[in-house]
A and B are shown apart, each in its own frame.
Chain A
Amino acid sequence: MRITDNANYDSVKGAISRSKEKMGNLQFQSTTLKKLNTPSDNPVGASKVLELRTDKMNNDQYQMNSKMAETFLNNTESAVADLAEIIARAKEIAIAQSSTSTSSESTRVAVSEEINQLYKQAIGAANRKVGERYLLGGYKTQKAPVDEQGNYHGDDGQMMVEVAKDVFLTMNIPGIEAFNTQPKVAYAKQNGYGNARNNDPVDQEEILENVNIFDELQNFRIGLLTGNMEAIHSTLERFDLLHSRLVTTQAKLGSRIQGLSATSQSIDRQNITNASLTSELEDADMAQVVSDMGKEEGIYKSSLASSRRLIQPTLLDFLK
């Protein structure tokens, strides 16, 4: 086989540039610490990495949503708990005042003042805010849900937030559902017709007597002031209804908070799995890179050394 000078030079140049290219690649990997630097390095991996990054961003947002929903729910729960306590206290008073042995006109006038205080506290609890938002007004978060007369000005809006992919959670309880034993009836009364949202007339059979916290406290106070023992006695049962309504609401809120923390934990776990998968796809294995570099350096040096021997001598060197 004829080997010409050009063939020699070409193979030397080829070997050197191949080595240099490989070393350049390894060098780049070691400066970026990534093996996935352009989509063509691993097209399938690249699109997977983008997907995982999207998941991560979404999960961060879901976590944020969860935290905000949790704050909102916690505050709502404490407002409802306060209302429940107020009703419990009112019931205690009602029990004491419904028996003629412990009730007299003077005690009734005295406790009516306490009931007035409780009423004001109840309004305060109903109008509680987190930041600039009223907790119990439904969608109407920017004005107080309950006025001084105890009238409800909110709506029955349910604020849904996404706390995990396609998992939606209602982060509020419209006040009307907590304050009334029959919210539908209350809503119909507020709007002068059936349910405002769906416009469906309230089912006749469902028209039961509705009890409202604020109305009932006022009824009780008036009963106390007028000495109407009958009225005082009848409030007992209604306070029971209200109290159980509030406790049920509280339990509902509690279970939502529980659910939130479970979802949030599962997102954390997913983040960890995703992070390790992302790293596997795009991070360079430094031990591997360093050892490959050593190997490539050896190849480069030996090709330089052999080139020196290959290029130098020609027949002319021996013809002197």
Chain B
Amino acid sequence: MGIANIFNTGYSGLTASRAGMATSGHNISNAGTEGFSRQRIVTEALVPDNSGKSANAVGRGVRVARVERLNDEYLEKQIRNGQREMSHHEEKEMGLRQVEDIFNEMNGDDINHQVTKFFNDFRQLSNEPESRAVREALRESTHAMSSNFRSIRKQLEEVRTHFDSRVESYVGEANLLAGQVAELNKRIRLSDLAGGTPNDLMDKRDMALKKLASLMDIATQKDNHGNISVDIRGAGSLLTEDIVRPLSIERTPADDQGKSDGSLSIRAEGNVTASITHQIRGGKLGALIEVRDKTITGLVDRLDEMAFTLINSVNDIHSQGVTTDGNSGINFFKPVENKEKAAEYLALSDDVLADVNNIVTADLADAPGDNRVALAISKLQNEKMMGDGHSTMEEWYNSIVSDVGVASSKNKFAMNQQKDIMTQLEKMRDQISGVSVDEETANLMQFQHAFEASAKVVQVADEMLKTILSIKRD
């Protein structure tokens, strides 16, 4: 073994230490980078050239075999799933809070209150059927109640529209992320072929997948070349290797799964015939679609049904009576054809709007004290007219409010639970992949010392060479 080799051995140590320090530096710089996995160099000894021939062969130093990424693929997958659940609950929470705000009855001046007032105004009218003032009060309060029905329905529609704009932006984001994953697939494959270790690219891909998973339920598949393909669970492929099948949106008519007319549906390329709107579950998109098409549609339907029943039951009684002027067949509310949008069309009839004397209280003509019609309408308050005769008008409405509350509180509970699970998972990921500055500092010192020692080896080799060269002179 020649002295020149000792130079090389020392030099290999210097290189390895420098690589170690650079890696620690990289780790420290990325201590705050989201999704970063710490890296470390893996070194191996360089075996003697003539190993096997000589009994006392000496090794040739060290080599950096590869830079490795500390990362647990299965944990990443779990985190992806956890993130999907978490984002789902968060998005739902946001949506349900908007809905709950619309139905916030707890401060006391809303539909429940107004419906009760409506019936009590009729009760008051049954007390003094002759009074014009009571009639006018009744007309005013009915007007307020009707416009509240309309406004609540409108607000629900507005939340729907708002949800649609979010659906639109999330679909855009999903396409962007799918594109990123496809691009990264390509670069990782190339880098792999060139013998590189694309650690940072893989981190980036994991991040993109995590974001994609937060949007919807996806299934990932890794092939032998390191490509990750993504399927939307239940709706076919989103990307294979580096080919993306982007999602698109369009406004379509109502369907039988609760989607309202004109709201957005989602289509996948290559799946032109059917929309995949209701196949998308989980994640933010799943949450939006669920609240938009199940929760809100259900609420709007129930509100419409309530308005429809109110209009018909009151009109039925009202039109049978006789006004003070002897007219009969007069409606109290503007009649509606069917249940659909009844809450939007709830309004006083033109006759009642024109003259309060068209509010009917009597069964008999020329009997100003006859209060039987007013009394009969006030009795509707306690009649179980809703839900196939199971609940009164107010019970029906209260159940809407409490259902909104239940959905929201159930979701909040699940969200908090998921938050704890995510904290645990993140902690586990951090244990494996997270950067500890203290640890990296210690590593830096270790490599620094190794560097110094390797330098010393070079120095000693130099001196040895000098000694040998000086022999000749003597």
- Given the interface pairs A49-B106, A57-B117, the reply to whether A4 lies near B434 with Cβ below 8 Å is yes
Quote the shortest CB–CB distance from A176 to chain B (angstroms): 14
Q: CB-nearest residue of chain A relative to B399?
A: A47
Cβ of B435 within 8 Å of any chain A Cβ, yes or no, is yes
Quote the shortest CB–CB distance from A241 to chain B (angstroms): 28
Question: Could you tell me the distance between the alpha carbons of A39 and B382 in the complex, rounded to whole angstroms?
Answer: 24
Residues in B neighbouring A65, C-beta threshold 8 A:
123-124, 127
Question: Could you tell me the distance between the alpha carbons of A1 and B369 in the complex, rounded to whole angstroms?
Answer: 87
Question: Could you tell me the distance between the alpha carbons of A74 and B370 in the complex, rounded to whole angstroms?
Answer: 20
Residues in A neighbouring B366, C-beta threshold 8 A:
140
Cβ of A10 within 8 Å of any chain B Cβ, yes or no, is yes
Residues in B neighbouring A168, C-beta threshold 8 A:
375
- Chain A positions 40 through 53: 1 when the CB is less than 8 Å from some CB of chain B, otherwise 0: 11111011011101
Stretch at the interface among A154-162, A250-258, A268-276, A291-299: A154-162
Q: Are A38 and B100 in contact (CB under 8 A)?
A: yes
Question: Could you tell me the distance between the alpha carbons of A54 and B113 in the complex, rounded to whole angstroms?
Answer: 7
Stretch at the interface among A130-138, A216-224, A230-238, A301-309: A130-138
Stretch at the interface among B180-188, B195-203, B348-356, B401-409: B401-409
Question: Could you tell me the distance between the alpha carbons of A228 and B252 in the complex, rounded to whole angstroms?
Answer: 97
Stretch at the interface among B14-22, B52-60, B422-430: B422-430
* Contact-size category for B: 35 or more
Q: CB-nearest residue of chain A relative to B364?
A: A139
Find residues 417-453 in chain B having any chain A CB closer than 8 Å to their own CB. Answer: 423, 426-427, 430-432, 434-439, 441-442, 445
Cβ of A75 within 8 Å of any chain B Cβ, yes or no, is no
Q: Are A46 and B100 in contact (CB under 8 A)?
A: no
- Given the interface pairs A61-B124, A141-B369, the reply to whether A39 lies near B408 with Cβ below 8 Å is yes
Residues in B neighbouring A310, C-beta threshold 8 A:
none
Quote the shortest CB–CB distance from B28 to chain A (angstroms): 10
Count A-B pairs with CB separation below 8 Å: 182
Q: Are A3 and B436 in contact (CB under 8 A)?
A: yes
Question: Could you tell me the distance between the alpha carbons of A14 and B420 in the complex, rounded to whole angstroms?
Answer: 10
Most buried by A among B126, B127, B409: B127
Cβ of B371 within 8 Å of any chain A Cβ, yes or no, is yes
- Given the interface pairs A166-B382, A315-B441, the reply to whether A50 lies near B430 with Cβ below 8 Å is no
Cβ of A64 within 8 Å of any chain B Cβ, yes or no, is yes
Q: Are B398 and A51 in contact (CB under 8 A)?
A: yes
Question: Could you tell me the distance between the alpha carbons of A43 and B412 in the complex, rounded to whole angstroms?
Answer: 13
Quote the shortest CB–CB distance from B95 to chain A (angstroms): 13
Residues in A neighbouring B104, C-beta threshold 8 A:
38-39
Residues in B neighbouring A10, C-beta threshold 8 A:
423, 426-427, 430
Question: Could you tell me the distance between the alpha carbons of A46 and B119 in the complex, rounded to whole angstroms?
Answer: 22
Residues in A neighbouring B108, C-beta threshold 8 A:
53
Find residues 65-87 in chain A having any chain B CB closer than 8 Å to their own CB. Answer: 65, 68-69
Cβ of A320 within 8 Å of any chain B Cβ, yes or no, is no
Residues in B neighbouring A43, C-beta threshold 8 A:
402-403, 405-406, 409
- Given the interface pairs A5-B436, A6-B430, the reply to whether A282 lies near B130 with Cβ below 8 Å is no
Question: Could you tell me the distance between the alpha carbons of A141 and B403 in the complex, rounded to whole angstroms?
Answer: 48
Quote the shortest CB–CB distance from B235 to chain A (angstroms): 32
Cβ of A37 within 8 Å of any chain B Cβ, yes or no, is yes
Quote the shortest CB–CB distance from B142 to chain A (angstroms): 15
Q: CB-nearest residue of chain A relative to B402?
A: A47
Question: Could you tell me the distance between the alpha carbons of A183 and B432 in the complex, rounded to whole angstroms?
Answer: 100
Question: Could you tell me the distance between the alpha carbons of A138 and B369 in the complex, rounded to whole angstroms?
Answer: 7
Q: Are A315 and B117 in contact (CB under 8 A)?
A: no
Cβ of B87 within 8 Å of any chain A Cβ, yes or no, is no
Other-chain contact of B435, A6, A39, A64, A316 (Cβ < 8 Å) = A6
Other-chain contact of A160, B362, B375, B397 (Cβ < 8 Å) = B375
Residues in B neighbouring A315, C-beta threshold 8 A:
437-438, 441-442
Residues in A neighbouring B117, C-beta threshold 8 A:
57
Q: Are A39 and B126 in contact (CB under 8 A)?
A: no
Q: Are B128 and A68 in contact (CB under 8 A)?
A: yes
Other-chain contact of A47, B367, B398, B437 (Cβ < 8 Å) = B398
Question: Could you tell me the distance between the alpha carbons of A40 and B364 in the complex, rounded to whole angstroms?
Answer: 49
Question: Could you tell me the distance between the alpha carbons of A51 and B426 in the complex, rounded to whole angstroms?
Answer: 45
Question: Could you tell me the distance between the alpha carbons of A241 and B106 in the complex, rounded to whole angstroms?
Answer: 61
Residues in B neighbouring A54, C-beta threshold 8 A:
112, 116, 394
Cβ of A36 within 8 Å of any chain B Cβ, yes or no, is yes
- Given the interface pairs A58-B116, A159-B369, the reply to whether A37 lies near B441 with Cβ below 8 Å is no
Other-chain contact of B431, A4, A46, A68, A155 (Cβ < 8 Å) = A4
Question: Could you tell me the distance between the alpha carbons of A200 and B372 in the complex, rounded to whole angstroms?
Answer: 21
Cβ of B78 within 8 Å of any chain A Cβ, yes or no, is no
Question: Could you tell me the distance between the alpha carbons of A38 and B103 in the complex, rounded to whole angstroms?
Answer: 9
Cβ of B32 within 8 Å of any chain A Cβ, yes or no, is yes
Q: Are B402 and A162 in contact (CB under 8 A)?
A: no
Q: Are B435 and A4 in contact (CB under 8 A)?
A: yes
Residues in B neighbouring A46, C-beta threshold 8 A:
105-106, 401-402, 405
Question: Could you tell me the distance between the alpha carbons of A31 and B369 in the complex, rounded to whole angstroms?
Answer: 49
Q: Are A140 and B369 in contact (CB under 8 A)?
A: yes
Q: Are B127 and A68 in contact (CB under 8 A)?
A: yes
Q: Are A14 and B423 in contact (CB under 8 A)?
A: yes
Q: Are B124 and A40 in contact (CB under 8 A)?
A: no
Cβ of A314 within 8 Å of any chain B Cβ, yes or no, is yes
Residues in B neighbouring A47, C-beta threshold 8 A:
398-399, 401-402, 405
Residues in A neighbouring B403, C-beta threshold 8 A:
43
Cβ of B378 within 8 Å of any chain A Cβ, yes or no, is yes
- Given the interface pairs A43-B402, A282-B106, the reply to whether A50 lies near B112 with Cβ below 8 Å is yes
Q: Are B437 and A5 in contact (CB under 8 A)?
A: yes
- Given the interface pairs A46-B105, A47-B398, A64-B124, the reply to whether A139 lies near B368 with Cβ below 8 Å is yes
Question: Could you tell me the distance between the alpha carbons of A157 and B101 in the complex, rounded to whole angstroms?
Answer: 48
Residues in A neighbouring B445, C-beta threshold 8 A:
319
Q: CB-nearest residue of chain B relative to A166?
A: B382
Residues in B neighbouring A7, C-beta threshold 8 A:
427, 430-431, 434
Cβ of B176 within 8 Å of any chain A Cβ, yes or no, is no
- Given the interface pairs A7-B427, A142-B368, the reply to whether A50 lies near B398 with Cβ below 8 Å is yes
Question: Could you tell me the distance between the alpha carbons of A172 and B369 in the complex, rounded to whole angstroms?
Answer: 10
Q: Are A40 and B423 in contact (CB under 8 A)?
A: no
- Given the interface pairs A6-B430, A14-B423, A315-B442, the reply to whether A157 lies near B370 with Cβ below 8 Å is yes
- Given the interface pairs A46-B402, A314-B438, the reply to whether A139 lies near B362 with Cβ below 8 Å is yes
A-B contact pairs, 30 of them (CB 8 A): A2-B430, A5-B438, A6-B435, A7-B431, A10-B427, A38-B405, A39-B401, A40-B96, A40-B406, A41-B405, A41-B409, A47-B399, A50-B401, A54-B116, A54-B394, A57-B120, A62-B123, A132-B130, A133-B130, A137-B369, A138-B367, A139-B370, A140-B368, A155-B364, A157-B364, A160-B375, A315-B437, A315-B442, A316-B437, A316-B441
Given contacts A7-B430, A162-B375, 11 further A-B contacts (CB under 8 A): A4-B435, A7-B427, A39-B402, A43-B403, A57-B117, A138-B369, A139-B368, A141-B369, A142-B368, A157-B364, A315-B441
B residues contacting A by CB (< 8 A) are: 31-32, 96, 100-101, 103-106, 108, 112-113, 116-117, 119-120, 123-124, 126-128, 130, 362, 364, 366-372, 375, 378-379, 381-382, 394-395, 397-399, 401-406, 408-409, 412, 423, 426-427, 430-432, 434-439, 441-442, 445
The 3 residue pairs across chains A and B that have the minimum distance between CB atoms: A39-B405, A43-B405, A141-B369
